Each structure stands twice: as structure tokens, then as C-alpha cells.
């Protein structure tokens, strides 16, 4: 049996795996995300120990350059994560391992994984939003990741900010009170003085959080109208938050879009990931299985 590799790079952790195109994983390791040199060296060491692969799919935190014609293809771009700006993730793996590297965002890869093996099966257009250290969205249109001049940056859209209700100025270093600046995990910690996992289920944080997330999702519903939305990430582990977001989003849609997908309650439309913490790395394996459509040509130096 032939195997492919998958890597999910996150702001805190990276997950490496070797598996087959039916979703079976034969080797896997979780590594801390430190500086680029140390982290990439650890990823390379994993693949040198693991069964041999010819293709490695990478789902990377971003923003990243996904244009295979670009001289900075495969690099992390204007990230706030210290030390990672211009880190050549894809080419470092390509050169060290002599493999083809298929490169996507972490959320784009997770969307592919969920569509292939998880909660997105059976739909052609899908949005995967993660709410955690940041807020990112992967969009699949026609069963492929959608890119334009860049990959989607839905975390940085503007959402209504009632400063009387919520005087917090936002935590985004670029945009202040964009969606990510108001609703990501670090924003919750900065606003309330302790991390999300330490906030009680009845804390006043959660109605506000649900309202912000739903406002961001409403932008997706009205502009792209995906057939399903998957909502994951560490913040979404808060008890009762997903049902709150469903109620808020249903109120914002207000019956304007008539579709069986938007049945009352949105329980089949706005769903949790089925693959859990493996969505990203399984998506990276799905990328590798899809092959060269998402890769730089091997002949390029």
C-alpha cells in the first residue's frame, strides 16, 4: 500500500501523520510549535522516521502564499506569530524530504478533511470556521478550496460592535475590532481577565460571543450561501455555545433565504466537526491525495 503525508501547523501545536487515501493513519505525532527552524526540523525528523511518502499535504496557519507561480509560494506571510513571517514552510519540507508538497491553509485543509470523511460529506459547497487562537474560514466551492488574490480572511471582516454593550476595543493588531479581534480566544481572555475554558457556562461572555460569531457567519450565508457550515476550534468547546450561535444566526437570516438546508433550528446546517482534532491533519492527507492541483511544480528550484 502506498502512503502520503499530512502536516497541520497551528499556532501552538503541529500534527504530522502518514496515512492512506482511505483516511487510515499509520503514524502520527503531535509537536509544539516553537520557532520555524526547530519546528520544521522536528517535522522533517518525523517523516524521516515514518514510512516513506512521495507527497506531503500541508495545512498551515496563516496568512500564507498559496499561488504556485509566486516566489514566496508556501511561506507564512504577515502573521502576528513571532518569528514566523516569511517562514518557507513548503519549500523547507520539499527540499529536505525530496517530496512533492501540496500547500493550503489549515482551515482549507480541515474543510477538505471534513468533506471527505466527516461532517461535510455529500455537499459540494462548504464553509469551515474555526474559533480559537484566531478565527479562520476555509471555503470549498465546487469541492475545491476557493482562492482569489489570497485565501479568504473571514476572521477579519467587520461585524457590528456595540461599544456601549461591549467597550472592549478589540485585540487584532491590524484591525482592532474585526471579528477575530472581538471573538477569538485571546480576545475573550483579554476582555474577561481569564481564558475561555475558565468562564462559567452562564457567564455574560457567551451571549456576546455567540452574537459576534453569528454575525460573521451571516456574512458567509448572504454572500456565498454554502450548503453547510462547520464550526470548530477550541472556543467552540464551551458548553452550549453552538446552540446559542445557531439561534443568533437564524435570527439574523430572518427567513430571507428560503432553503430546506435552513430548516428551523439550523441543526443540519450549522454543525460541529465530525473529525474532531484530526480534521486538520486528515485534511492535509486529503490534499496530498488530491495532488498537483494544489502544489508547486516539482521542477521549480
pLDDT of 38: 96
Element (H, E) at 13: strand 13-19
Q: What percent of the chain has pLDDT over 90?
A: 82
Q: How far apart are CA 135 and CA 153, in angstroms?
A: 9
| In a shared domain, residues 91 and 60 | yes
Residue 187 lies in a domain: yes
The CATH number of the domain where 145 resides is what? 3.30.420.40
Instruction: Look at residue 114 and tell me if it is in a domain.
Output: no
| pTM for the model | 0.90
Within this chain, do residues 73 and 135 fall inside the same structural domain, yes or no? no
pLDDT band at 1 (very low <50, low <70, confident <90, very high): low
Q: Is the CB of residue 42 less than 8 Å from the CB of residue 27?
A: no
Instruction: Please tell me the total count of domains within the chain.
Output: 2
Rounded to whole angstroms, the Cα distance separating 26 from 29 reads 11
**Three-class DSSP category at 9:** strand
Q: Considering the chain, what is the average pLDDT of its residues?
A: 92
* 208 in Cβ contact with 167 (< 8 Å): no
**Considering Cα of 237, then 243, then 245, then 249, what sign does the dihedral take?**
positive
Whether residue 263 lies inside any domain: the answer is yes
Judge contact between 282 and 23, C-beta under 8 A.
yes
CA dihedral sign, ordered 223, 180, 270, 160: negative
Mean pLDDT, to the nearest integer, of 119-135?
Answer: 94
| 196 band by pLDDT with thresholds 50, 70 and 90 | very high
List of long-range contacts for 144-150, beta carbons under 8 Å, 24+ apart: 144/293, 145/104, 145/105, 145/108, 145/111, 145/112, 145/294, 147/66, 147/67, 150/63, 150/66
Domain residue limits at 152: 119-273
95-114: pLDDT as tens digits: 999 999 999 999 999 999 99
CA angle, 74 then 299 then 35, to 5°: 25
Domain assignment present for 194: yes
Helical residues (DSSP H) of 50-105, grouped into ranges: 89-97
- The answer on 74 and 28 residing in a single domain is yes
Grid cell digits, residue 111: 474543510
Residue 221 domain flag: yes
The answer as to whether 300 is a domain residue is: no
pLDDT digits (tens, 9 = 90+) for 229-247: 999 999 999 999 999 999 9
CA distances for 282 relative to 26, 150, 251, angstroms: 12, 23, 34
pLDDT at 276: 86
Q: How far apart are CA 140 and CA 87, in angstroms?
A: 26
Burial of 82 (0-12, 13-18, 19+ CB in 10 A): exposed
What tens digit of pLDDT does each residue of 74-95 get?
Answer: 999 988 788 899 999 999 999 9
Is the same domain home to 126 and 267?
yes
Q: Are residues 179 and 215 in contact, defined by beta-carbon separation less than 8 angstroms?
A: yes
Rounded Cα gap, residues 222 and 253, in angstroms: 8
> What are the pLDDT digits (tens) for 8-64?
998 888 999 999 999 999 999 999 999 999 999 999 999 999 999 999 999 998 889
Amino acid at each position: 500500500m502506498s502512503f502520503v503525508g499530512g502536516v497541520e501547523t497551528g499556532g501552538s501545536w503541529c500534527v504530522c501523520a502518514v496515512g492512506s487515501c482511505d483516511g487510515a493513519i499509520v503514524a502520527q505525532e503531535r509537536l509544539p510549535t516553537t520557532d520555524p527552524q526547530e519546528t520544521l526540523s522536528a517535522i522533517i525528523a518525523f517523516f524521516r522516521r515514518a514510512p516513506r511518502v512521495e507527497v506531503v499535504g500541508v495545512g498551515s496557519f496563516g496568512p500564507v502564499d498559496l499561488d504556485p507561480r509566486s516566489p514566496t509560494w508556501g511561506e507564512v506571510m504577515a502573521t502576528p506569530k513571532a518569528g514566523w513571517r516569511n517562514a518557507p514552510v513548503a519549500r523547507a519540507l520539499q527540499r529536505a524530504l525530496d517530496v512533492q508538497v501540496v500547500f493550503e491553509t489549515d482551515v482549507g485543509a480541515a474543510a477538505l478533511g471534513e468533506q471527505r470523511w466527516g461532517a461535510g460529506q455529500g455537499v459540494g459547497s462548504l464553509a469551515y470556521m474555526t474559533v480559537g487562537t484566531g478565527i479562520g474560514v476555509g471555503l470549498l466551492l465546487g469541492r475545491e478550496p476557493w482562492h482569489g488574490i489570497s485565501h479568504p480572511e473571514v476572521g477579519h471582516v467587520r461585524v457590528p460592535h456595540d461599544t456601549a454593550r461591549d467597550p472592549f476595543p478589540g485585540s487584532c493588531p491590524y484591525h482592532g475590532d474585526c471579528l477575530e479581534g472581538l471573538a477569538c480566544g485571546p480576545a475573550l481572555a483579554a476582555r474577561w481577565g481569564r481564558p475561555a475554558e475558565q468562564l462559567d457556562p452562564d457567564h455574560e461572555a457567551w451571549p456576546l460571543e455567540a452574537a459576534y460569531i453569528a454575525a460573521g457567519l451571516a456574512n458567509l450565508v448572504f454572500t456565498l450561501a454554502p450548503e453547510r457550515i462547520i464550526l470548530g476550534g477550541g472556543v467552540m468547546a464551551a458548553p452550549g455555545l453552538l446552540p446559542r450561535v445557531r439561534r443568533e444566526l437564524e435570527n439574523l437570516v430572518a427567513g430571507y433565504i428560503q432553503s430546506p438546508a435552513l430548516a428551523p433550528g439550523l441543526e443540519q446546517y450549522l454543525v460541529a466537526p465530525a473529525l474532531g482534532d484530526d480534521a486538520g491533519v486528515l485534511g492535509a492527507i486529503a490534499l496530498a491525495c488530491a495532488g498537483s492541483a494544489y502544489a508547486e511544480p516539482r521542477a521549480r528550484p
